[in-house]
């Protein structure tokens, strides 16, 4: 289940700041508004969840790349001599 997303006016955020910090620690993202306009966000700082998500993203990208490589047919070109590589006509 994704973390909660809350929107709260600044005056209310001021009164319930401790509660909002606890919610952020548990993964919630809180948008604080002033006169109905969003002015700030409160949320968790990186932490273990972000590190785990990044590791998962990297593993998935690596698996996708390896799956793509498995579909490719190797191509052999060469060998070349040094003279051929630097041949200037």
Q: Looking at residue 37, which CATH number applies to its domain? A: 3.40.1620
| Residue 38 lies inside a defined structural domain of this protein | yes
Q: Which domain holds residue 13?
A: 5-42
For the chain, how far is it from start to end, CA to CA, in angstroms? 65
3-state SS of the chain? CCCCEEEEEHHHHHHCHHHHHHHHHCCCEEEEEECCEEEEEECCCCHHHHHHHHHHHHHHHHHHHHHHHHHCCCCCCCCCCHHHHCCCC
What pTM, to 2 d.p., does this model score?
0.50
Residue 81's pLDDT is 85
Q: Are 14 and 39 in contact (CB under 8 A)?
A: no
| Residue 63 lies inside a defined structural domain of this protein | no
**What are the pLDDT digits (tens) for 45-63?**
876 777 788 889 999 999 9
Residue 47's pLDDT is 62
pLDDT at 1 over 60: no
**What are the pLDDT digits (tens) for 4-44?**
789 999 999 999 999 999 999 888 999 999 999 999 999 88
């Amino acid at each position: 289940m994704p973390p909660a997303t809350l929107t709260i006016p600044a005056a209310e955020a001021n009164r319930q700041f401790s509660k909002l910090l606890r919610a952020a620690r548990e993964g919630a993202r809180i948008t604080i508004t002033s006169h109905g306009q969003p002015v700030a966000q409160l949320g968790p700082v990186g932490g273990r969840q972000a590190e785990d998500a990044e590791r998962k993203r990297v593993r998935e990208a690596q698996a996708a790349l390896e799956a793509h490589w498995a579909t490719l047919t190797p191509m052999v070109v060469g060998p070349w001599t040094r003279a051929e590589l630097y041949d200037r006509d």
